[in-house]
């Protein structure tokens, strides 16, 4: 798809804003000089309003943490007991607390003091038990009248309940106990089940009024978890709700029917998370067709009503969620949707289905970390990796950014689950880490440059990016950090190290370090089918005193092998370096190579030539 004059390849090279030349990439710098005990599988950068910015990594069965303010450092344990099979890590921040998800374990909340808690509380799995051994006055239940009991585990700090869990009447997880009246006085004593949430400090019993139904109930009593039992001390016959606080619920009316559910439902285990309208939005690895959202400004509360379901003909699966302007995108395996608002219980019609719209003709996303927000300068865009290339959308339409890349012969499509896509805003580019064709691990990166000086029209008439490829940088994960107001790109590797990109001249991982190469496509100097005699070829480059580059003239003739003439050239000065080697061919390619050392900029190639039957040209 290359136009005349465009480059075929820029190995270990990059474009820079407002500069048409190609620069040799800088190197990478290791953050931790002592490698971790195992390869680092994933990482995130967490920044706080009132705390130190940190790197959090996934290594072995731990989350590891390090101070992100220094250029170098070391990691220590943050959380143990993480699943060894987790390979991804995502996070979102709300009210200066970061919520980590990995698609395998329960989410974690990381506070600005680097303390860590579970995200939300697990829903009860067992009902309390009941005995008729109370010592109070008791109450009478007429025959057939019922009272229902359930418990709530709580976390209290300084006397304030900061988190709660929920009971359930769902099939298979019935955690509500029913007392059936027999026309006699009863003295109910409720015994709690085994503690489910290890961080819980207290528990409370809730009960309905006579013939009431869950979850409409009032608190009977709250006690410390060291106490196992408590008595229902209500009196009279067929008692009303107790005088304690009401059980916290969410209610809404749909099509004339009122639904009431516990407010403090448990957050799901998810691979993806973001913030939209002051709620956390997440996928669910158990029910893969839904996106769930937390109660407004209550990131630990996930009522069962707060669900968007994406029922599709192909039984699609939610892969990732990403907030844009005044809506958020839902990237499925085979499609793309947007959600334009979060319904609230107080809405006149609480109907999540009214707020979702499919993006016509869009492709699906390959994994939860294969997407990034950016802009061509004309509004926010979302780029994401699909099986057929990198797609860009503004929430209304879509286009392909990678027309210029021979996708099927460049990328190992069967291993797109390992790719990553991030926006390096300092460099005005998307960075796409992927497994090259025939490979098994992500060892190459492509740069998609979206600065206006490097944008061009796609086949569909939209904008796309000039691509630098291949960049021989590997990684298990790729992410961007904002340190001291500067955007920086980082990778974590199988060698147990974290690397900061675009620093110095050293490439510590790729074979033979940085190997800069710039190659043009076929150039028909005098036109297609005509042969040309190249008298001299030349390249314009910047200075790298004491270093040597190589200019290659590749001559192409129909039915013959390419003939290549390489010549070493000194790079002591910024100049046009000429090579007086003659060759004959229908088309030529120009190539410049250089191994490591100081960065060099290549501006243009040229030739002095004769064309059969025509005058000399340059």
SS3 of 161-225 = EEEECCCCCCCCCCCCEEEECCCEEECCEEECCCCCCCCCCEEEEEECCCCCCCCCCEEEEEEEC
d(CA 98, CA 521): 47
SS3 category, 427: helix
pLDDT tens track for 196-207: 999 999 999 999
Mean pLDDT of all residues in 31-45: 97
Q: What is the pLDDT of residue 583?
A: 76
Which residue shows structure tokens 């005990």?
37
Task: Give which of 143, 180, 150, 186 is closest to 165, Cα–Cα.
Answer: 150
Q: What is the pLDDT of residue 68?
A: 96
> Residue 65, Cα to own-chain centre: how many angstroms?
19
d(CA 231, CA 99): 38
d(CA 290, CA 598): 51
Q: Output the CA–CA distances (angstroms, integers) from residue 236 to 207, 221, 231, 242, 298, in the order listed.
A: 15, 18, 15, 12, 38
Omega of the bond leading into 400 within 30 degrees of 0 (cis): no
Q: What is the pLDDT of residue 617?
A: 62
Which pLDDT band holds residue 377 (cuts at 50, 70, 90)? confident
Asked whether the predicted pLDDT for residue 463 surpasses 90, the reply is no
pTM: 0.94
SS3 category, 513: coil
CB 470 within 8 A of CB 10: no
Asked whether the predicted pLDDT for residue 3 surpasses 80, the reply is no
Q: Are strands 532-541 and 54-59 parallel, antiparallel or unpaired?
A: unpaired
pLDDT tens track for 432-457: 999 999 999 999 999 999 999 998 88
- Boundaries of every domain in the chain: 7-17+27-120+267-513, 129-262, 517-617
- For residue 606, give the H/E element and its range: strand 601-611
Mean pLDDT in the chain?
A: 93
Instruction: Find the range with the poorest average confidence among 151-165, 486-500, 577-591.
Output: 577-591
> Residue 401, Cα to own-chain centre: how many angstroms?
19
Mean pLDDT of all residues in 370-389: 95
Q: Are strands 463-471 and 455-457 parallel, antiparallel or unpaired?
A: antiparallel
Task: Give which of 25, 30, 26 is closest to 499, Cα–Cα.
Answer: 30
Asked whether the predicted pLDDT for residue 322 surpasses 90, the reply is yes
Mean pLDDT of all residues in 508-519: 96
**Class of residue 14 by CB neighbours under 10 A (exposed 0-12, middle 13-18, buried 19+):** buried
Instruction: Find the range with the poorest average confidence among 345-349, 475-479, 566-570.
Output: 345-349
What residues are paired with 445 via a beta bridge? 433, 471
Mean pLDDT of all residues in 255-260: 82
d(CA 57, CA 577): 47
Which pLDDT band holds residue 330 (cuts at 50, 70, 90)? very high
Asked whether the predicted pLDDT for residue 616 surpasses 80, the reply is no
Asked whether the predicted pLDDT for residue 223 surpasses 80, the reply is yes
CB 371 within 8 A of CB 418: no
CATH for 7-17+27-120+267-513 is 2.130.10.10
Q: How large a percentage of the chain has pLDDT more than 70?
A: 96
Comparing 507 with 6, the larger pLDDT belongs to 507
Asked whether the predicted pLDDT for residue 305 surpasses 80, the reply is yes
How many C-beta atoms lie closer than 10 Å to residue 437's C-beta? 15
Mean pLDDT of all residues in 287-296: 96
CB 513 within 8 A of CB 507: yes
SS3 category, 599: coil
């Amino acid at each position: 798809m290359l136009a005349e004059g465009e480059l075929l390849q820029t190995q270990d090279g990059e474009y820079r804003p407002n500069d048409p030349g190609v620069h040799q990439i800088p190197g990478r710098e290791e953050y931790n000089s002592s490698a971790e005990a195992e390869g680092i599988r994933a990482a995130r950068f967490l920044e706080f309003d009132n705390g130190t910015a940190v790197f959090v990594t996934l290594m072995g069965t731990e989350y590891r943490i390090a101070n992100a303010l220094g250029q170098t450092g070391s990691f220590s344990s943050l959380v143990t007991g993480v699943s060894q099979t987790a390979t991804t890590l995502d996070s979102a921040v709300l009210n200066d607390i970061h919520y980590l998800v990995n698609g395998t374990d329960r989410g974690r909340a990381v506070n600005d003091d680097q303390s860590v808690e579970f995200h939300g509380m697990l829903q009860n799995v067992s009902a309390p038990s009941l005995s008729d051994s109370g010592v109070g006055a008791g109450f009478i239940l007429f025959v057939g009248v019922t009272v229902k009991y359930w418990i709530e585990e709580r976390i209290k700090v300084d006397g304030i309940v900061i988190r709660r869990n929920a009971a359930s009447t769902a099939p298979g997880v019935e955690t509500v106990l029913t007392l059936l009246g027999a026309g006699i006085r009863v003295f109910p004593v409720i015994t709690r089940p085994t503690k489910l949430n290890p961080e819980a400090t207290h528990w409370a019993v809730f009960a309905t009024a006579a013939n009431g139904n869950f979850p409409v109930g009032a608190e009977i009593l709250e006690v410390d978890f060291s106490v196992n039992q408590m008595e229902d001390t209500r009196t009279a016959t067929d008692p009303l709700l107790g005088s304690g606080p009401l059980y916290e619920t969410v209610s809404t009316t749909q099509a004339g029917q009122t639904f009431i559910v516990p407010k403090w439902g448990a957050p799901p285990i998810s691979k993806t998370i973001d913030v939209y309208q002051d709620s956390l939005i997440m996928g669910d690895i158990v029910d893969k067709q839904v996106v769930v959202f937390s109660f407004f400004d209550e990131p630990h509360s996930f009522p069962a009503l707060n669900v968007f379901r994406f029922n599709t003909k192909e039984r699609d699966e939610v892969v990732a969620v990403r907030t844009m302007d005044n809506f958020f995108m839902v990237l499925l395996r085979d499609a793309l949707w947007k959600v334009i608002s979060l319904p609230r219980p107080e809405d006149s019609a609480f109907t999540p289905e009214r707020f979702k719209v499919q993006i016509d003709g869009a492709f699906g996303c390959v994994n939860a970390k294969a997407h990034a927000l950016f802009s061509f300068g004309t509004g926010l865009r979302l780029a994401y990796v699909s099986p057929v290339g990198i797609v860009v959308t503004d929430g209304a339409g879509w286009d392909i950014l990678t027309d210029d890349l021979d996708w099927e012969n460049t990328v190992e499509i069967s291993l797109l689950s390992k790719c990553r896509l991030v926006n390096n805003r300092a460099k005005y580019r998307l960075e796409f880490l992927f497994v090259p064709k025939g490979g098994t691990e992500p060892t190459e990166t492509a740069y998609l440059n979206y600065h206006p000086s490097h944008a061009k029209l796609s086949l569909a008439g939209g904008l796309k990016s000039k691509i630098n490829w291949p960049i021989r940088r590997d990684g298990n994960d790729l992410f961007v950090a904002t340190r001291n107001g500067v955007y920086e790109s980082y990778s974590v590797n199988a060698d147990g190290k974290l690397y900061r990109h675009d620093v110095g001249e050293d490439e510590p991982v790729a074979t033979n370090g940085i190997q800069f190469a710039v190659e043009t496509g076929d150039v028909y100097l005098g036109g297609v089918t005509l042969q040309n005699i190249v008298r001299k070829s030349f390249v314009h480059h910047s200075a790298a005193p004491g270093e040597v580059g190589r200019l290659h003239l590749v001559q192409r003739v129909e039915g013959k092998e390419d003939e290549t003439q390489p010549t070493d050239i000194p790079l002591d000065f910024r100049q046009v370096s000429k090579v007086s080697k003659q060759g004959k061919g229908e088309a030529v390619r120009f190539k410049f190579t250089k191994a490591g050392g100081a960065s060099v900029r290549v501006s243009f190639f040229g030739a002095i030539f004769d064309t059969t039957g025509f005058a000399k040209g340059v």
